[in-house]
A = this chain, B = another copy of it.
Amino acid sequence: MIGRVNHIAIAVPDLAAAAGRYRDLLGARVSAPQSLPEHGVRVVFVEADNTKVELLEPLGAHSPITGFLDKNPGGGMHHICFEVPDIAMAARQLVEAGARVLGDGKPKIGAHGLPVLFVHPKDFDGTLIELEEVKPDFSPA
């Protein structure tokens, strides 16, 4: 079912400083920061050759990463996102197996404009897993 790792998300207390470290200490390509107010985060993409790291800073009063940063003030790895071809099927399969899909168990539109869901970290070894529906394409790699 799972295809590519779409991204690894890291919550950081200071987005500009974090992006600077990836750029200057690791020589990574980093995007300009983007604010996603509807998702409560400001994000910088760190481009690796095969996937990306998303650095996330809270935005607004109800950011979904505020609680995480309260517990981990220095930041930390927040979630890993896998691509799936059919998220409705993925949701059904997870729920039938007893895993908790966050929210009402239904996929939502995520930060990339595609349907996503999150699985409770207690059902996956302390790891918050995001699934994002990305239709496979058959163009050459």
Which residues of A are at the interface with B, using a C-beta cutoff of 8 A?
1-5, 8, 10-13, 18, 21, 24-28, 48-51, 53, 55, 72, 74-77, 80, 82-83, 90, 93-94, 97, 99, 121-127, 129, 131, 141
Contact = CB atoms under 8 A, between A and B. Distances in A.
A133 to B, nearest CB: 14
Contacts of A13: 125
Nearest to A3: B49
Contact of A76 (B1, B3, B125, B141): B125
Nearest to A140: B141
A2 B27 CA distance: 6
A120 B86 CA distance: 38
Contacts of A121: 74, 76
A5 B5 contact: yes
Query: Which of A3, A28, A48 lies at the interface centre, i.e. has the most chain B CB atoms within 10 A of its CB?
Result: A48
Given A28-B2, A51-B50, A53-B80, A122 B74 contact: yes
A90 to B, nearest CB: 8
Nearest to A78: B77
A72 to B, nearest CB: 6
A68 to B, nearest CB: 10
A125 B26 CA distance: 14
A43 to B, nearest CB: 14
